[in-house]
Copies of this chain bind each other. A is one copy, B any other.
Amino acid sequence: MSWDRSSMRAAEPIWRHQPVPPRQNPVPDPLASMASAARPLRYGRGRMIYAADSPARYLYRVVSGAAARFLLRSDGRRQIIDLLLPGDVFGFGAGGKHRFNAAAIVDGTSITGYPRARVNALAAADPRIAAAVNEAMAAAAARLHDLIVILGHTTAEEKVGAFLLHLAGRLSGGSADVIILPFTREDIADYLALSVETVSRSLTLLRRRGAIRLVGSRHVKILNRAVIAGGDDDREAVDNLRIPACSGRD
């Protein structure tokens, strides 16, 4: 098995302290009330944040940059389970352990860490904090739902299109039409369970159809959402939920 593909850097002490500049990119922080326990962190691209099966001692929140939870298959392939953007909270483990690995995927990603024990204590005392943690868990589940829906598409072009629309909704808060991709094609491929080449092909396909506009390779402008969705938006599908005649016994 070779490792050249995902080119992870060497394992390191989980915490990597470096002086942190004042926060740019102010994202609303549901965990702000625990600022006293917060611990600022900064990672270079590919730096491990935690490893699978390690004790889940901290909760994390992305401040800027991007990170990913992922697993490594025995064939060397990396699968990204969860793409973490500014504002996202992650690191809820299962049974006190992390199920997957986590690493930064862009240089200079800054993350805030909250000691788990502290979080639990504060949540037990203050129901508002408990609610905030709950909300963060719900948001994490929503990300997983979104990925499952994206992976459920049949063709690569649909997957990439759905991914772009998904990103447009998450980056820049609302549903802006301009996306600055902070990560590589390989990251996208590992997220969508496609090969890098297919991701690239799908993007040029979408460009040729007039669905998107590519400026450089990291700058995507959405031109025609209908074409991107290929008529396959799940909201439409839900609207179409007029169920025809009962086919079975009733």
Contact = CB atoms under 8 A, between A and B. Distances in A.
Interface string A93-133: 01000011100000000000000000000001001001000
Interface in A62-93: 71-75, 79, 81, 92
A240 B1 contact: yes
B247 A7 contact: yes
A243 B11 contact: yes
Interface-centre pick from A53, A79, A241 (highest chain B CB count, 10 A): A241
A174 to B, nearest CB: 16
A249 B211 CA distance: 38
A3 to B, nearest CB: 5
Q: How many copies does the complex hold?
A: 2
A20 interface: no
B138 A144 contact: no
A196 interface: no
Given A8-B243, A46-B248, A74-B240, 4 more contacts: A51-B241, A73-B152, A73-B234, A79-B149
Interface of A: 1, 3-4, 7-11, 44-46, 51-53, 71-75, 79, 81, 92, 94, 99-101, 124, 127, 130, 134, 137-138, 140-142, 144-145, 147-149, 151-154, 193, 231-234, 236-238, 240-241, 243-248, 250
